[in-house]
Structure 1
Amino acid sequence: MGLLTAVLSGFGVMTVLNLVSTHGGLAVMAVSLLLFCGVFLIQVLHSAQRTRAFRDRYGRLTLGLQALLTFTPMCLLGMLWGGMAGFLAGSVLLVVRGRLSGVLFLLVVAANGASAALSGLGAVDIAYVVLSTALTGLVVFATTRLVDLITELERRRAESAWVAVTEERLRIARDLHDLLGYSLSAITLKSELVHRLIGLHDDRARTELGEVLEISREALADVRAVARGYREVLFADELVSVRKVLAAADVECVVEEAAVGTLGRQINTVLATVLREAVTNLLRHTSAKRCTIRLRRYGATVQLAVDNDGVRPEKAGARRHGSGLDNLSERVSRAGGTLTTLFDSDGWFRLMVECPTADPDSTRDVPHPVPEHSPSIVRCGS
């Protein structure tokens, strides 16, 4: 707004100085300053962003008033006041919309040229007046639009920064939920098991305690990875971990793995995260005794299904709408896949994910560590 005010003031002061140098006298100066203040205030209303609502509602009225203050004083001050017509031409382009603005712009320029001709000016002076009016109007319009564009650009930059900060906060919250929810559940479960084993099976208690320490170290490393903005989890490593946790929780786990070939890094991490969240929900929100994990490949699509028998029908709907599943659904969607949940008539809750085998934004794949053989079934737990 400061730039716009400086440009408008500069044009106006030049006109007033020309009037004073030509006519002289305090009366002419006072009238000129008074009229210029009126034109200047109207021009600010037409150009300022803060007055946009007022301009949209009363713009035609203020435009008519500006036209009156532009052409009427010429009878007293002569063509030296004709420089104000440039402001009027710029206001026409700012206030009026559509083709009519161009027509009125040319009409203002032509009217100022006709006033110059009626004042007895020569052809060269008339041409100067016409060009000066047109250029002043275009400068006023262009300066106003430039200020608008700069303001809009700054606003969009601020919005982009806010969106980036918000997305980063959501990413950290989502990753921490996915990581620590599972890790803390596993630590709690194994710590309870160690507490029961102390004095009865000390050797196994020490083994379980060692696994608790290992999980806590992994959780710390995961939190640091989240802070750095990079975290890659392999499905095979996560599968080994959940087998141990489910066995400690006395959940019978059946793992059915088929050869799936190579998986993209992002897809591998997504599947590992889905498996971790599914087992976290099982441990925290169900009384499951059996869990089935199935991994299959169909052409260019890999499918992971995690089923358990521990969700009661009246709680199934609430579980579908938890924040963990919402986070997973968003994560899977970004990888080009879909996540579905189902509670069947036999009392089993199923979480199923289907994703492309290759990352949507990368060609880098990592081999999935399952050998190329027929499907295998592994049972763990009691």
Structure 2
Amino acid sequence: MHVREWRRSWQERSKMERIDLYSRFTVSSIPWLFALSWQLAPFKSDIRHEPLPLALGAALLLVSLTQCLLSNRNVRASYEHYLGISVFPVRRLIAPLLLLVLAVALLATLAGVGGVGGSGLLLMSLNTPMAFVITRVLLVPVRTFAIESLLLAVLTTGALAAAGVRGGALAGVMPTALFGSVLVLISIRPSAWSLGVMWQAEEARNIQARLAVAEERLRFGRDMHDVLGRNLAVIALKSELAVELAQRGRPEALDQMVEVQRIARASQQEVRDVVRGYREADLTTELAGAQGVLRAAGIECAVTGGDGTGLPGPVQSALGWVVREAATNVLRHGDPGHCTIRLDVSADAVVLDVENDGAPAAAPEGTGSGLAGLRERLIALDGTLEAGPGDGGVFRLRARIPLAAHPGSAGLPHPAAGDTSRAAAGDAPRAAPGDTPRAAARDPRTTLLEDRR
């Protein structure tokens, strides 16, 4: 149960959140790795197997493990301090600093009683400050960290010298302690820097997306203003003129109101044209856009079959929305490495398949409205939509629209034929058999009823 919950939690995270979690986990595990290797290894042969040295070694190991716990507690806060999200509380360093002083004192005491020597002493000297400096390296500038590391190495060397350590063992303590600090500096600091750069890039992409939405809203507002601004001003003026003419009993008032009616109907049609341009999706454009977006996200995407050229407008629009929603679901819900979009057009139907190896790549049924909205669009064209996991961990989304039942699609050639002249003809309304030209013309009363609807 816990494994499934952990896996679900991992799959719900974005790629950037996974990288962030991996980096923090790695930094948290490093002090434990050092403590359980460098601090335990001397117990085998380097520590003298007598009660006092073993007790001092065990106490030093316990202090080291406690340092690891405090280091893990401070990792998140130190990362957020480095990334500029929050300020690290200085009081959190008091306990780790006291434990570091205690560890140096225990190490000096162990060496003073002759309990450890040789390589064991160097390994313990290397491990003693690791848990503290792993947190400290993210809190101060590099120059400050280097000075503090030098002072810490001098403190450790001085404590061991005061305990009676001499010769090559004492000479190796200073470079060993400095090596540990340099190792932390070149491993932890670049990792945090890379993480900060990636979060900044992620934030920049989010800002770019919000700016694109804002720009689109401004453009829509500008288009609506251009369409309605002049016409509404003319309607207001002509209405005032009609009122004045009507008050004077002039018959020209009727002509002005007829003109107002004509301008209002023209404005309605212009508004519909503007809105239609935002609501309809072009299949060719959506295929190219989905391929570009997925490749930019590091997902290999192949588009095969036709590109939708020659399909009737309503069919292109519906399939364009399917491509857009499928690409969105691949980015949002899955973690695939490859995605295939295939469009097959025959004389009877057009079938769009979107497959990826990151199942599940779509939200479960009932959790979102994307697939339900697509089904509604396809049902209007007698189409169907199927979505679900397939064999081999593949998620497949299939949309099928019959062409024979769609007005204007009779005789539609296969895309391979290269005939694109029927696309516009498929969109044009056709008169029913037996209609006369007069019957096919628009009746003003019918126009008024449609406008009211």
Scaled by the length of structure 2, the TM-score of the pair is 0.38
- The structure with more strand, counted as a fraction of residues: 1
TM-score (norm 1): 0.44
**Greater RCO (CA < 8 Å, at least 6 residues apart):** 1
